[in-house]
Structure 1
Amino acid sequence: MKRVLGVMVGLLALTATAKPVQKPVVYELEGTKFEGVLVYDDAVKTPRPGLVLVPNWLGVNEPNVKQAVLVAGKQYVIFVTDLYGQGVRPKNPDEAAKAAGAVKGDRKLMRARVNKALDVLRTEGKAVGLDAKKLGAIGFCLGGTTVLELARSGAPVAGVVSFHGGLDAPLPAAEGALTAKVLALHGAEDPFVPPAEVKGFEEEMRKAKADWELVSYGGAVHSFTDLDANAPGQFQYDAKVAKRAYLAMNNFFAEAFAK
Protein backbone atom coordinates (compact mmCIF):
# COMPACT_ATOMS: atom_id res chain seq x y z
CA MET A 1 0.00 0.00 0.00
CA LYS A 2 2.84 2.42 0.78
CA ARG A 3 4.32 1.74 -2.64
CA VAL A 4 0.96 2.32 -4.31
CA LEU A 5 0.38 5.61 -2.53
CA GLY A 6 3.93 6.71 -3.22
CA VAL A 7 3.53 6.19 -6.95
CA MET A 8 0.24 8.06 -7.11
CA VAL A 9 1.35 10.84 -4.79
CA GLY A 10 4.41 11.51 -6.89
CA LEU A 11 2.40 11.28 -10.06
CA LEU A 12 -0.33 13.67 -9.11
CA ALA A 13 1.60 15.99 -6.77
CA LEU A 14 -0.68 15.45 -3.81
CA THR A 15 0.84 17.28 -0.86
CA ALA A 16 0.96 16.30 2.79
CA THR A 17 -1.27 19.25 3.71
CA ALA A 18 -4.21 18.00 1.65
CA LYS A 19 -7.49 17.54 3.49
CA PRO A 20 -9.53 15.24 1.27
CA VAL A 21 -13.26 15.13 1.91
CA GLN A 22 -15.38 12.19 0.77
CA LYS A 23 -19.04 13.19 0.94
CA PRO A 24 -21.71 10.60 0.06
CA VAL A 25 -24.46 12.07 -2.11
CA VAL A 26 -27.80 10.35 -2.67
CA TYR A 27 -29.74 11.39 -5.74
CA GLU A 28 -32.58 10.07 -7.87
CA LEU A 29 -33.30 9.49 -11.54
CA GLU A 30 -36.55 8.11 -12.91
CA GLY A 31 -37.52 6.54 -9.60
CA THR A 32 -34.16 4.90 -8.91
CA LYS A 33 -31.92 6.13 -6.11
CA PHE A 34 -28.18 6.37 -6.59
CA GLU A 35 -25.32 7.11 -4.21
CA GLY A 36 -22.12 8.71 -5.45
CA VAL A 37 -19.29 10.42 -3.59
CA LEU A 38 -18.17 14.04 -3.86
CA VAL A 39 -14.40 14.29 -3.40
CA TYR A 40 -12.49 17.51 -2.82
CA ASP A 41 -9.75 19.12 -0.73
CA ASP A 42 -11.38 21.48 1.75
CA ALA A 43 -8.08 23.28 2.35
CA VAL A 44 -8.33 24.82 -1.12
CA LYS A 45 -10.37 28.01 -1.19
CA THR A 46 -10.00 29.01 -4.83
CA PRO A 47 -12.43 27.75 -7.50
CA ARG A 48 -11.41 24.51 -9.22
CA PRO A 49 -12.60 22.61 -12.28
CA GLY A 50 -14.95 19.71 -11.72
CA LEU A 51 -14.75 16.17 -13.06
CA VAL A 52 -17.34 13.45 -13.18
CA LEU A 53 -15.38 10.25 -12.50
CA VAL A 54 -17.00 7.04 -13.67
CA PRO A 55 -15.24 4.04 -12.07
CA ASN A 56 -14.58 0.59 -13.46
CA TRP A 57 -17.18 -2.15 -13.44
CA LEU A 58 -16.91 -2.61 -9.66
CA GLY A 59 -18.62 0.74 -9.24
CA VAL A 60 -18.48 2.95 -6.17
CA ASN A 61 -16.20 1.08 -3.79
CA GLU A 62 -13.33 2.00 -1.48
CA PRO A 63 -10.46 1.53 -3.98
CA ASN A 64 -12.25 3.57 -6.63
CA VAL A 65 -13.02 6.38 -4.20
CA LYS A 66 -9.37 6.39 -3.07
CA GLN A 67 -8.38 6.69 -6.70
CA ALA A 68 -10.67 9.72 -6.99
CA VAL A 69 -9.03 11.33 -3.95
CA LEU A 70 -5.61 10.97 -5.52
CA VAL A 71 -6.72 12.27 -8.90
CA ALA A 72 -8.52 15.22 -7.31
CA GLY A 73 -5.56 16.45 -5.27
CA LYS A 74 -5.81 20.22 -5.05
CA GLN A 75 -6.72 20.50 -8.73
CA TYR A 76 -10.26 19.21 -9.08
CA VAL A 77 -13.62 18.69 -7.42
CA ILE A 78 -14.66 15.16 -8.36
CA PHE A 79 -17.98 13.35 -8.28
CA VAL A 80 -17.63 9.56 -8.28
CA THR A 81 -20.60 8.35 -10.27
CA ASP A 82 -22.94 5.51 -9.35
CA LEU A 83 -24.10 3.84 -12.57
CA TYR A 84 -25.91 0.96 -10.90
CA GLY A 85 -28.15 2.28 -8.14
CA GLN A 86 -27.92 2.66 -4.38
CA GLY A 87 -26.89 -0.59 -2.72
CA VAL A 88 -25.79 -2.28 -5.94
CA ARG A 89 -22.13 -2.88 -5.16
CA PRO A 90 -20.57 -5.82 -7.03
CA LYS A 91 -18.33 -7.97 -4.87
CA ASN A 92 -16.82 -10.18 -7.57
CA PRO A 93 -16.36 -10.31 -11.36
CA ASP A 94 -19.59 -12.24 -11.93
CA GLU A 95 -21.66 -9.63 -10.11
CA ALA A 96 -19.75 -6.84 -11.84
CA ALA A 97 -20.32 -8.37 -15.27
CA LYS A 98 -24.06 -8.61 -14.63
CA ALA A 99 -24.37 -5.03 -13.38
CA ALA A 100 -22.12 -3.59 -16.06
CA GLY A 101 -23.81 -5.54 -18.84
CA ALA A 102 -27.20 -4.09 -17.98
CA VAL A 103 -25.87 -0.55 -18.36
CA LYS A 104 -23.50 -1.12 -21.28
CA GLY A 105 -26.27 -2.85 -23.21
CA ASP A 106 -28.50 0.22 -23.01
CA ARG A 107 -26.57 3.28 -24.16
CA LYS A 108 -29.53 5.62 -23.72
CA LEU A 109 -29.74 4.54 -20.09
CA MET A 110 -25.97 4.96 -19.72
CA ARG A 111 -26.15 8.48 -21.14
CA ALA A 112 -29.05 9.44 -18.90
CA ARG A 113 -27.26 8.25 -15.77
CA VAL A 114 -23.95 9.94 -16.50
CA ASN A 115 -25.68 13.19 -17.48
CA LYS A 116 -27.53 13.08 -14.16
CA ALA A 117 -24.18 12.69 -12.41
CA LEU A 118 -22.97 15.81 -14.20
CA ASP A 119 -26.01 17.69 -12.87
CA VAL A 120 -25.24 16.46 -9.35
CA LEU A 121 -21.63 17.62 -9.63
CA ARG A 122 -22.85 21.07 -10.67
CA THR A 123 -25.31 21.30 -7.79
CA GLU A 124 -23.23 19.76 -5.00
CA GLY A 125 -20.01 21.44 -6.08
CA LYS A 126 -21.31 24.97 -5.65
CA ALA A 127 -20.60 25.02 -1.93
CA VAL A 128 -17.11 23.50 -2.13
CA GLY A 129 -15.30 25.67 -4.64
CA LEU A 130 -16.39 24.25 -7.99
CA ASP A 131 -15.77 26.41 -11.03
CA ALA A 132 -18.95 25.47 -12.88
CA LYS A 133 -17.60 26.90 -16.13
CA LYS A 134 -14.89 24.23 -16.19
CA LEU A 135 -16.40 20.76 -16.23
CA GLY A 136 -15.09 17.50 -17.62
CA ALA A 137 -15.30 13.75 -17.15
CA ILE A 138 -12.95 10.80 -16.82
CA GLY A 139 -13.66 7.10 -16.74
CA PHE A 140 -11.91 3.78 -16.34
CA CYS A 141 -12.83 0.61 -18.28
CA LEU A 142 -16.66 0.66 -18.23
CA GLY A 143 -16.32 4.23 -17.03
CA GLY A 144 -14.21 5.05 -20.07
CA THR A 145 -16.99 3.78 -22.30
CA THR A 146 -19.44 5.87 -20.30
CA VAL A 147 -17.65 9.20 -20.58
CA LEU A 148 -17.41 8.74 -24.34
CA GLU A 149 -21.19 8.33 -24.32
CA LEU A 150 -21.42 11.52 -22.27
CA ALA A 151 -19.51 13.32 -25.01
CA ARG A 152 -21.62 11.73 -27.75
CA SER A 153 -24.75 12.96 -25.99
CA GLY A 154 -23.63 16.55 -26.53
CA ALA A 155 -23.23 17.26 -22.82
CA PRO A 156 -21.80 20.71 -22.00
CA VAL A 157 -18.37 19.60 -20.81
CA ALA A 158 -15.00 20.89 -21.95
CA GLY A 159 -13.54 17.44 -22.42
CA VAL A 160 -13.64 13.76 -21.54
CA VAL A 161 -10.84 11.26 -20.96
CA SER A 162 -11.32 7.51 -21.37
CA PHE A 163 -8.77 5.23 -19.70
CA HIS A 164 -8.78 1.75 -21.31
CA GLY A 165 -12.47 2.06 -22.11
CA GLY A 166 -14.49 0.39 -24.82
CA LEU A 167 -14.55 2.38 -28.06
CA ASP A 168 -17.63 0.87 -29.72
CA ALA A 169 -20.51 3.16 -30.62
CA PRO A 170 -23.97 1.61 -31.05
CA LEU A 171 -25.25 5.21 -31.21
CA PRO A 172 -22.48 7.06 -33.06
CA ALA A 173 -22.10 10.79 -32.69
CA ALA A 174 -23.75 12.87 -35.37
CA GLU A 175 -21.71 15.49 -37.19
CA GLY A 176 -21.39 18.58 -35.02
CA ALA A 177 -23.10 17.01 -32.00
CA LEU A 178 -19.90 16.18 -30.17
CA THR A 179 -18.71 19.49 -28.73
CA ALA A 180 -16.44 18.17 -25.97
CA LYS A 181 -12.78 17.48 -26.66
CA VAL A 182 -12.06 13.76 -26.51
CA LEU A 183 -8.95 11.93 -25.30
CA ALA A 184 -8.97 8.13 -25.48
CA LEU A 185 -6.05 6.42 -23.69
CA HIS A 186 -5.83 2.88 -25.01
CA GLY A 187 -3.66 -0.18 -24.44
CA ALA A 188 -2.38 -1.26 -27.85
CA GLU A 189 -2.56 -4.93 -26.82
CA ASP A 190 -5.96 -4.72 -25.10
CA PRO A 191 -7.71 -7.99 -26.05
CA PHE A 192 -11.11 -6.51 -25.20
CA VAL A 193 -10.81 -3.61 -27.65
CA PRO A 194 -9.81 -5.17 -30.98
CA PRO A 195 -8.23 -3.21 -33.85
CA ALA A 196 -11.53 -3.11 -35.74
CA GLU A 197 -13.14 -1.31 -32.80
CA VAL A 198 -10.30 1.18 -32.66
CA LYS A 199 -10.64 1.83 -36.39
CA GLY A 200 -14.38 2.29 -36.00
CA PHE A 201 -13.83 4.85 -33.25
CA GLU A 202 -11.40 6.80 -35.41
CA GLU A 203 -13.86 6.83 -38.30
CA GLU A 204 -16.68 7.93 -36.01
CA MET A 205 -14.64 10.83 -34.64
CA ARG A 206 -13.69 11.97 -38.15
CA LYS A 207 -17.28 11.85 -39.39
CA ALA A 208 -18.44 13.76 -36.31
CA LYS A 209 -15.74 16.38 -36.95
CA ALA A 210 -14.76 16.05 -33.30
CA ASP A 211 -11.71 17.49 -31.55
CA TRP A 212 -10.23 14.13 -30.60
CA GLU A 213 -7.04 12.31 -29.78
CA LEU A 214 -6.30 8.60 -29.42
CA VAL A 215 -3.14 7.50 -27.60
CA SER A 216 -2.22 3.85 -28.02
CA TYR A 217 0.32 2.60 -25.48
CA GLY A 218 2.56 -0.15 -26.83
CA GLY A 219 2.65 -3.30 -24.72
CA ALA A 220 -0.27 -2.24 -22.52
CA VAL A 221 -3.37 -4.38 -22.12
CA HIS A 222 -6.68 -3.70 -20.36
CA SER A 223 -6.84 -1.97 -16.95
CA PHE A 224 -3.33 -0.54 -17.14
CA THR A 225 -4.12 2.03 -14.41
CA ASP A 226 -5.71 -0.51 -12.06
CA LEU A 227 -3.25 -1.32 -9.28
CA ASP A 228 -4.99 -4.63 -8.56
CA ALA A 229 -5.06 -5.87 -12.17
CA ASN A 230 -2.81 -8.90 -12.48
CA ALA A 231 -3.88 -11.17 -15.32
CA PRO A 232 -1.01 -11.02 -17.83
CA GLY A 233 -2.17 -10.60 -21.40
CA GLN A 234 -5.63 -9.50 -20.30
CA PHE A 235 -5.85 -7.17 -17.28
CA GLN A 236 -2.49 -5.82 -16.14
CA TYR A 237 -1.34 -2.77 -14.18
CA ASP A 238 1.53 -0.94 -15.88
CA ALA A 239 3.17 1.73 -13.72
CA LYS A 240 5.01 3.39 -16.60
CA VAL A 241 1.95 3.59 -18.81
CA ALA A 242 -0.28 4.69 -15.93
CA LYS A 243 2.07 7.57 -15.18
CA ARG A 244 2.08 8.66 -18.81
CA ALA A 245 -1.70 8.40 -18.99
CA TYR A 246 -2.33 10.55 -15.91
CA LEU A 247 0.10 13.17 -17.18
CA ALA A 248 -1.71 13.12 -20.53
CA MET A 249 -5.00 13.64 -18.69
CA ASN A 250 -3.73 16.65 -16.74
CA ASN A 251 -2.20 18.22 -19.85
CA PHE A 252 -5.43 17.63 -21.76
CA PHE A 253 -7.57 19.36 -19.14
CA ALA A 254 -5.09 22.21 -18.75
CA GLU A 255 -5.71 22.98 -22.41
CA ALA A 256 -9.44 22.25 -22.36
CA PHE A 257 -10.06 24.49 -19.34
CA ALA A 258 -7.81 27.30 -20.55
CA LYS A 259 -10.51 28.71 -22.81
Structure 2
Amino acid sequence: MTMVTRREVEYQADGLTMIGHLALPAGVGRRPAVLLGPEGMGLSDVERDRADALAGLGYVVLAFDLHGGRYLGDPEEMLARCMPLLADPDRMRGLGHAALDVLRAEPRTDPGRIAAVGYGTGGIIGLELGRDGADLRAIATLNGLAAGRPGETARIRCPVWAGVGSEDPIMAPAQREEFAADMQAAGVDWRLVVYGGALHAFHHPPVDHPMVPGVGHHPRHAQRAWRDVIDLLTECVPVPE
Protein backbone atom coordinates (compact mmCIF):
# COMPACT_ATOMS: atom_id res chain seq x y z
CA MET A 1 0.00 0.00 0.00
CA THR A 2 1.26 3.46 -0.90
CA MET A 3 0.49 6.82 0.68
CA VAL A 4 -2.80 8.25 -0.61
CA THR A 5 -3.75 11.86 -1.29
CA ARG A 6 -7.46 12.65 -1.41
CA ARG A 7 -9.59 15.67 -2.23
CA GLU A 8 -13.12 16.63 -3.17
CA VAL A 9 -13.84 17.64 -6.76
CA GLU A 10 -16.89 19.56 -7.92
CA TYR A 11 -18.38 19.09 -11.37
CA GLN A 12 -21.73 19.46 -13.12
CA ALA A 13 -23.93 16.48 -14.03
CA ASP A 14 -27.65 15.73 -14.27
CA GLY A 15 -28.46 19.37 -13.52
CA LEU A 16 -26.65 19.23 -10.17
CA THR A 17 -23.31 20.26 -8.70
CA MET A 18 -21.71 16.93 -7.91
CA ILE A 19 -19.03 16.42 -5.26
CA GLY A 20 -16.79 13.49 -6.11
CA HIS A 21 -13.98 11.96 -4.08
CA LEU A 22 -10.62 11.79 -5.88
CA ALA A 23 -7.92 9.53 -4.43
CA LEU A 24 -4.37 9.64 -5.76
CA PRO A 25 -1.52 7.20 -5.16
CA ALA A 26 1.95 8.31 -4.15
CA GLY A 27 4.30 9.52 -6.87
CA VAL A 28 4.05 11.84 -9.83
CA GLY A 29 3.72 9.60 -12.89
CA ARG A 30 0.58 8.52 -14.68
CA ARG A 31 -1.25 5.50 -13.34
CA PRO A 32 -4.18 3.35 -14.41
CA ALA A 33 -7.45 4.72 -13.12
CA VAL A 34 -10.78 3.53 -11.74
CA LEU A 35 -14.16 5.24 -11.96
CA LEU A 36 -16.02 4.08 -8.84
CA GLY A 37 -19.81 4.26 -8.74
CA PRO A 38 -21.92 4.06 -5.56
CA GLU A 39 -25.19 2.36 -4.68
CA GLY A 40 -28.44 4.23 -5.24
CA MET A 41 -28.21 5.91 -1.84
CA GLY A 42 -25.26 7.88 -3.15
CA LEU A 43 -21.65 8.54 -2.32
CA SER A 44 -20.73 7.68 1.27
CA ASP A 45 -17.67 6.89 3.33
CA VAL A 46 -17.98 3.27 2.17
CA GLU A 47 -17.12 4.26 -1.41
CA ARG A 48 -14.60 6.86 -0.28
CA ASP A 49 -12.77 4.20 1.73
CA ARG A 50 -12.81 1.83 -1.25
CA ALA A 51 -11.41 4.58 -3.47
CA ASP A 52 -8.64 5.16 -0.94
CA ALA A 53 -7.91 1.42 -0.80
CA LEU A 54 -7.60 1.22 -4.58
CA ALA A 55 -5.37 4.30 -4.60
CA GLY A 56 -3.23 2.53 -2.02
CA LEU A 57 -2.75 -0.21 -4.62
CA GLY A 58 -1.55 2.36 -7.15
CA TYR A 59 -4.71 3.47 -8.97
CA VAL A 60 -6.05 6.97 -9.55
CA VAL A 61 -9.67 6.73 -8.39
CA LEU A 62 -12.71 8.97 -8.67
CA ALA A 63 -15.68 7.89 -6.56
CA PHE A 64 -18.47 9.77 -8.28
CA ASP A 65 -21.57 11.44 -6.89
CA LEU A 66 -25.18 10.66 -7.79
CA HIS A 67 -27.22 13.23 -5.90
CA GLY A 68 -25.46 16.59 -5.78
CA GLY A 69 -23.51 16.00 -2.61
CA ARG A 70 -26.39 14.28 -0.80
CA TYR A 71 -26.69 10.78 0.64
CA LEU A 72 -30.28 9.57 0.42
CA GLY A 73 -30.84 7.51 3.54
CA ASP A 74 -34.62 7.61 3.15
CA PRO A 75 -35.57 4.64 0.93
CA GLU A 76 -38.59 6.44 -0.54
CA GLU A 77 -36.53 9.48 -1.50
CA MET A 78 -33.81 7.25 -2.95
CA LEU A 79 -36.28 5.27 -5.06
CA ALA A 80 -38.03 8.43 -6.23
CA ARG A 81 -34.75 9.70 -7.66
CA CYS A 82 -33.14 6.44 -8.79
CA MET A 83 -36.03 4.67 -10.50
CA PRO A 84 -36.47 7.36 -13.20
CA LEU A 85 -32.67 7.50 -13.57
CA LEU A 86 -32.40 3.74 -14.06
CA ALA A 87 -35.16 3.87 -16.66
CA ASP A 88 -33.24 6.44 -18.73
CA PRO A 89 -29.99 5.07 -20.20
CA ASP A 90 -29.10 8.39 -21.82
CA ARG A 91 -29.39 10.19 -18.49
CA MET A 92 -27.22 7.55 -16.82
CA ARG A 93 -24.65 7.92 -19.57
CA GLY A 94 -24.56 11.68 -19.16
CA LEU A 95 -23.96 11.30 -15.44
CA GLY A 96 -21.22 8.73 -16.06
CA HIS A 97 -19.49 10.69 -18.81
CA ALA A 98 -19.36 13.83 -16.65
CA ALA A 99 -17.49 11.90 -13.96
CA LEU A 100 -15.31 10.11 -16.51
CA ASP A 101 -14.30 13.48 -17.97
CA VAL A 102 -13.17 14.61 -14.52
CA LEU A 103 -11.10 11.45 -14.09
CA ARG A 104 -9.54 11.79 -17.54
CA ALA A 105 -8.62 15.41 -16.85
CA GLU A 106 -6.60 14.46 -13.76
CA PRO A 107 -2.90 14.69 -14.79
CA ARG A 108 -2.04 11.48 -12.90
CA THR A 109 -4.56 9.45 -14.94
CA ASP A 110 -3.40 7.30 -17.83
CA PRO A 111 -6.39 7.99 -20.12
CA GLY A 112 -5.82 4.80 -22.07
CA ARG A 113 -6.15 2.57 -19.00
CA ILE A 114 -9.38 3.26 -17.14
CA ALA A 115 -11.76 0.74 -15.59
CA ALA A 116 -15.25 1.27 -14.19
CA VAL A 117 -16.25 -0.40 -10.92
CA GLY A 118 -19.75 0.15 -9.59
CA TYR A 119 -22.29 -0.99 -7.06
CA GLY A 120 -26.02 -1.11 -7.79
CA THR A 121 -26.92 2.08 -9.65
CA GLY A 122 -23.23 2.93 -10.02
CA GLY A 123 -22.58 -0.44 -11.64
CA ILE A 124 -25.37 -0.01 -14.16
CA ILE A 125 -23.97 3.43 -15.04
CA GLY A 126 -20.63 1.72 -15.76
CA LEU A 127 -22.36 -0.74 -18.07
CA GLU A 128 -24.12 2.10 -19.88
CA LEU A 129 -20.80 3.88 -20.39
CA GLY A 130 -19.54 0.72 -22.07
CA ARG A 131 -22.67 0.51 -24.20
CA ASP A 132 -22.08 4.11 -25.23
CA GLY A 133 -18.63 3.19 -26.55
CA ALA A 134 -16.56 4.66 -23.72
CA ASP A 135 -12.90 3.63 -23.85
CA LEU A 136 -12.77 1.37 -20.78
CA ARG A 137 -10.43 -1.53 -20.10
CA ALA A 138 -12.77 -3.36 -17.70
CA ILE A 139 -16.22 -3.01 -16.15
CA ALA A 140 -17.18 -4.51 -12.79
CA THR A 141 -20.74 -4.28 -11.49
CA LEU A 142 -21.88 -5.70 -8.17
CA ASN A 143 -25.64 -6.18 -7.72
CA GLY A 144 -26.28 -3.85 -10.64
CA LEU A 145 -27.36 -5.96 -13.62
CA ALA A 146 -29.33 -4.60 -16.56
CA ALA A 147 -29.66 -5.61 -20.18
CA GLY A 148 -29.06 -2.92 -22.76
CA ARG A 149 -31.15 -1.45 -25.52
CA PRO A 150 -31.15 -3.57 -28.70
CA GLY A 151 -27.71 -3.73 -30.33
CA GLU A 152 -25.95 -1.45 -27.85
CA THR A 153 -24.27 -4.02 -25.60
CA ALA A 154 -22.13 -5.06 -28.59
CA ARG A 155 -20.38 -1.69 -28.22
CA ILE A 156 -18.73 -2.86 -24.99
CA ARG A 157 -15.09 -3.46 -25.90
CA CYS A 158 -13.71 -4.75 -22.59
CA PRO A 159 -14.21 -7.63 -20.16
CA VAL A 160 -17.26 -7.38 -17.91
CA TRP A 161 -17.42 -8.93 -14.44
CA ALA A 162 -20.72 -9.02 -12.57
CA GLY A 163 -21.55 -10.23 -9.09
CA VAL A 164 -24.92 -10.85 -7.45
CA GLY A 165 -26.34 -12.60 -4.39
CA SER A 166 -28.32 -15.76 -5.02
CA GLU A 167 -31.11 -14.52 -2.72
CA ASP A 168 -31.23 -10.97 -4.11
CA PRO A 169 -34.91 -10.21 -4.81
CA ILE A 170 -34.08 -6.96 -6.61
CA MET A 171 -31.72 -8.66 -9.07
CA ALA A 172 -33.88 -11.78 -9.32
CA PRO A 173 -33.00 -14.88 -11.42
CA ALA A 174 -35.02 -13.65 -14.43
CA GLN A 175 -33.05 -10.39 -14.45
CA ARG A 176 -29.77 -12.26 -14.13
CA GLU A 177 -30.73 -14.47 -17.06
CA GLU A 178 -31.70 -11.48 -19.18
CA PHE A 179 -28.35 -9.81 -18.42
CA ALA A 180 -26.42 -12.97 -19.25
CA ALA A 181 -28.31 -13.51 -22.51
CA ASP A 182 -27.69 -9.90 -23.53
CA MET A 183 -23.95 -10.17 -22.83
CA GLN A 184 -23.64 -13.50 -24.62
CA ALA A 185 -25.59 -12.41 -27.69
CA ALA A 186 -23.40 -9.31 -27.96
CA GLY A 187 -20.18 -11.33 -27.90
CA VAL A 188 -18.88 -9.62 -24.77
CA ASP A 189 -16.13 -11.21 -22.65
CA TRP A 190 -18.28 -11.57 -19.54
CA ARG A 191 -18.49 -13.35 -16.20
CA LEU A 192 -21.30 -13.57 -13.67
CA VAL A 193 -20.54 -14.72 -10.13
CA VAL A 194 -23.50 -15.73 -7.97
CA TYR A 195 -22.68 -15.58 -4.25
CA GLY A 196 -24.69 -18.26 -2.47
CA GLY A 197 -27.05 -17.11 0.25
CA ALA A 198 -26.36 -13.40 -0.22
CA LEU A 199 -29.00 -10.66 -0.46
CA HIS A 200 -28.94 -7.37 -2.36
CA ALA A 201 -26.05 -5.02 -1.49
CA PHE A 202 -24.39 -7.82 0.47
CA HIS A 203 -21.07 -6.01 0.01
CA HIS A 204 -22.27 -2.93 1.93
CA PRO A 205 -21.64 -2.74 5.70
CA PRO A 206 -24.76 -2.41 7.88
CA VAL A 207 -26.27 1.09 8.04
CA ASP A 208 -28.19 2.90 10.80
CA HIS A 209 -31.19 3.88 8.65
CA PRO A 210 -34.04 1.98 6.95
CA MET A 211 -33.28 0.07 3.78
CA VAL A 212 -35.45 -1.33 1.02
CA PRO A 213 -36.49 -4.95 1.61
CA GLY A 214 -34.11 -7.68 0.49
CA VAL A 215 -30.90 -5.92 1.53
CA GLY A 216 -28.41 -7.53 3.89
CA HIS A 217 -24.70 -7.66 4.60
CA HIS A 218 -22.75 -10.89 4.07
CA PRO A 219 -19.23 -10.37 5.45
CA ARG A 220 -17.53 -13.39 3.84
CA HIS A 221 -18.97 -12.77 0.40
CA ALA A 222 -18.24 -9.04 0.72
CA GLN A 223 -14.54 -9.90 1.12
CA ARG A 224 -14.68 -12.40 -1.75
CA ALA A 225 -16.35 -9.91 -4.09
CA TRP A 226 -13.71 -7.30 -3.27
CA ARG A 227 -10.96 -9.79 -4.12
CA ASP A 228 -12.76 -10.64 -7.38
CA VAL A 229 -12.82 -6.96 -8.33
CA ILE A 230 -9.12 -6.59 -7.51
CA ASP A 231 -8.37 -9.66 -9.64
CA LEU A 232 -10.20 -8.09 -12.59
CA LEU A 233 -8.25 -4.85 -12.23
CA THR A 234 -4.97 -6.75 -11.90
CA GLU A 235 -5.73 -8.62 -15.11
CA CYS A 236 -7.03 -5.72 -17.22
CA VAL A 237 -5.35 -2.58 -15.83
CA PRO A 238 -2.30 -3.71 -13.87
CA VAL A 239 -0.32 -1.12 -11.96
CA PRO A 240 3.24 -0.80 -13.32
CA GLU A 241 6.00 -2.04 -11.06
TM-score by length of 1: 0.82
Q: 1:47 aligns with which of 12, 22, 30?
A: 30
Consecutive unaligned residues in structure 1, runs of 5 or more: 1-14
Deviation at 1:45, TM superposition (A): 4.0
1:21 aligns with 2:1: no
Separation in 2, partners of 1:175, 1:57: 22
User: What residue in structure 2 maps to residue 251 of structure 1?
Assistant: 231
**Secondary structure of the equivalent of 2:178?**
helix
Identity percentage of aligned residues: 30
User: What residue in structure 2 maps to residue 3 of structure 1?
Assistant: none
User: What residue in structure 1 maps to residue 176 of structure 2?
Assistant: 198
Comparing 218-227 with 249-258, greater Cα deviation is found at 249-258
User: What residue in structure 1 maps to residue 196 of structure 2?
Assistant: 218
TM-score by length of 2: 0.88
Consecutive unaligned residues in structure 2, runs of 5 or more: none
Separation in 1, partners of 2:32, 2:191: 21
CA contact (8 A) 1:155 1:180 kept: no
Deviations 1:69-88 (A, max 9, x none): 2233232111111223x344
Comparing 52-61 with 171-180, greater Cα deviation is found at 171-180
Q: 1:225 to 1:144 in 2, by over 3 A?
A: same
**Secondary structure of the equivalent of 1:235?**
coil
User: What residue in structure 2 maps to residue 33 of structure 1?
Assistant: 17
User: What residue in structure 1 maps to residue 57 of structure 2?
Assistant: 74
Separation in 2, partners of 1:37, 1:24: 5
Aligned pairs, how many?
236
CA contact (8 A) 2:131 2:153 kept: no
Deviation at 1:214, TM superposition (A): 0.7
Q: 1:169 aligns with which of 147, 151, 158?
A: 147
Bigger RCO (CA 8 Å, 6+ sep): 2
Question: What is the 5 A alignment of 1:1-259?
Answer: 15=1, 18-29=2-13, 32-41=16-25, 43-84=26-67, 86-124=68-106, 126=107, 129-165=108-144, 167-169=145-147, 171-174=149-152, 176-228=154-206, 234-257=214-237
CA contact (8 A) 1:25 1:36 kept: yes
